Every structure is written in C-alpha cells, then in structure tokens.
Amino acid sequence: MKLGILVPLQRHANAEFVRAYGETAESVGFDSLWIGEHVVITDDYASKFVVDLGDDKMHHKSAEDNVELDIFSTLTFLAAVTNKIRLGSGIAVLPQRNPVYMAKEAGNVDWLSNGRFDFGVGMGWLREEFEVVNAPFERRGARTDSYLEVVKRLWCDDVSEYHGEFYDMPACRFHPKPVQKPHPPIVFAGNSEKSFRRVANGCQGWFGIGYDPEGLAPQIQGLEAALKEANRPREEVTVYASPFGHDYDHKMIEHYRDIGVDHLILLHFADDVDEMTALLHKLADEYLDFCHNLE
C-alpha cells in the first residue's frame, strides 16, 4: 500500500513552509503529496461535511485561520521544488470553477511536474462558499459531470468542442496537453451511488475521507458494484482513503488495506516549519515501511 500526506496550507504557510513541505515529504519517502481547497471560509456556516468529524477535527478555529493557499498555483510551486513525488489536488471543487481555466491550471501542474499530477476533484459541500463565488449549489453533481467532460475534451482532443446544459464551448485548440496520456488520473471524491457510477464510467481513482475502516468498507463495496455494472476491472481504479478525524495505528492501517485501500493519505495540521518537518519525519519512520510491505 502506498502512503501520501496532506498538510493543510493555511495563513502561516509562506514560501519557506511550502518548500520545506515538498522537499521533506519527498526526501523521507512519501509516495504522494496533496493540497486541499477552500477559497474562502465564512465565520458561521450551516453546511455539514459528509462525515461528522466535529469542529475540533475540522480545525475551523476561525475563518482567518482556515483560509488556504490557492490549490493549483501551490501545486505548481511544489512541482518546482520536487522531482519524483506525485502531486495531488485533494480535493478541487470543480463546479465552483470555470472548466476551461480548471483544465489549464490543472494541466499546467502535470506539464511542469513532468507527469506527476493526480487530478482529485469533487462536487463540494460548503454551500456558503458557493454563494461567495457566485456558483450554483443546486445540481452541482450534474454540473460537475458537464465540467469534467469539458476538461477531458480539452486535454485529449486535437480540436475541442462541447455543447451542454451547463457549458457551451465552441471549437478551440488547447495546449500544452498534459504529459500523462490520455490525461492525468482523475480521482473523484464522493460517497453516493451517483458518485460511484461517475468513477466507474470515467475516473481512475476514488477518494474517501473521514471514514474508519468499518465506515469505509460499505463505500468500497458500493464502488465495486458500480465497477462491475460498468464492466470495469477493480484494478483499473485506485482507492485512496484518509483516516482524518480518527486515531490510527498499524492494526487500523492493515484493516484499511484488507478492505481494499490502495493508497492511504494521512492528514495532519502543523503551525510552522519545524513542527511540520518533525511531523513528516515521525510519520515516515512509523508508517512508511509498514505500508509499503503490506500486500
């Protein structure tokens, strides 16, 4: 099993912090490095995350503390200070963005990292954030499907064109194309039957966050059922999971592997460079070899 890391990059994350994050994660041997996305956080919000982690787990001490760096420009920065570790968007909120710009920004990460990018996307859950960016929250699933098709056509077609309910794109040419062919792996985050079908019908990965193994197992079973219905081998889809919000140990990680997790993403907060680098070294020492040796 592979092991990745996600350290939320909040207001304290200056250039020194981000550089150290990338260089340290790569040097100690993590397989992947992920960046989350929230463009804004409001002081008060009624929206609930798909898994109830509690306010302390979500780390929303204040809106000021929780505003994060831009996801794609930061991944591009990390591409410049690393050489081999994979870089993932975890998770970009696709229906909040213009899909053509999304294709450009995400594709640029793959281009400048020489093909090390995993395109993690989701529908989003924070209605208040949608309102701030003036994006419709309702029917965001259908909008996500449309936007994802726009992105794939721009990445794959010589001449790209799309006409749909949520987006109309006249014929155009898009360059540079991503390094990975036909496109970077698309990793979708969502736990509904529609999300599983979405993965089965066109994605290369699925990301489950905030579940312990007992809670995650039915999700993976739902994904596998959708793959079977779509006549796709299970091996074609990488299952990513994060135990965020749950204490974990070697036994629990082994349980994740037993239920079908291929790539575990550890998510921890750190407030400065020293705390972050010490954290990455500690996690690598405790878990990297263990995960890599799991069959």
Domain boundaries, the chain: 2-292
Q: Which CATH architecture has domain 2-292?
A: Alpha-Beta Barrel (3.20)
Measured CA distances, 166 to 162, 186, 276 (Å)? 10, 20, 41
Which pLDDT does position 68 carry in this prediction?
Answer: 80
The Cα–Cα gap between 122 and 226 comes to 18
Which residue(s) pair with 117 in the sheet? 87
What is the Cα 276 distance to its own chain's centre? Answer: 20
The total of other beta-carbon atoms located within 10 Å of residue 98's CB is 13
Which pLDDT does position 46 carry in this prediction?
Answer: 73
Positions of the chain with pLDDT lower than 70, given as ranges = 48-67
Is the Cβ–Cβ distance between 194 and 139 less than 8 Å? no
Which pLDDT does position 203 carry in this prediction?
Answer: 98
Which pLDDT does position 40 carry in this prediction?
Answer: 78
Which pLDDT does position 66 carry in this prediction?
Answer: 61
Which pLDDT does position 59 carry in this prediction?
Answer: 47
Which pLDDT does position 140 carry in this prediction?
Answer: 94
Please tell me whether the peptide bond between 233 and the residue prior to it is cis, using omega within 30 degrees of 0: no
Which pLDDT does position 10 carry in this prediction?
Answer: 78
Is the Cβ–Cβ distance between 93 and 122 less than 8 Å? yes
Q: pTM of the full predicted structure?
A: 0.93
Which pLDDT does position 57 carry in this prediction?
Answer: 44
b/e for 163-178, b at 16 or more Cβ within 10 A? Answer: eeebeebeeeebeebb
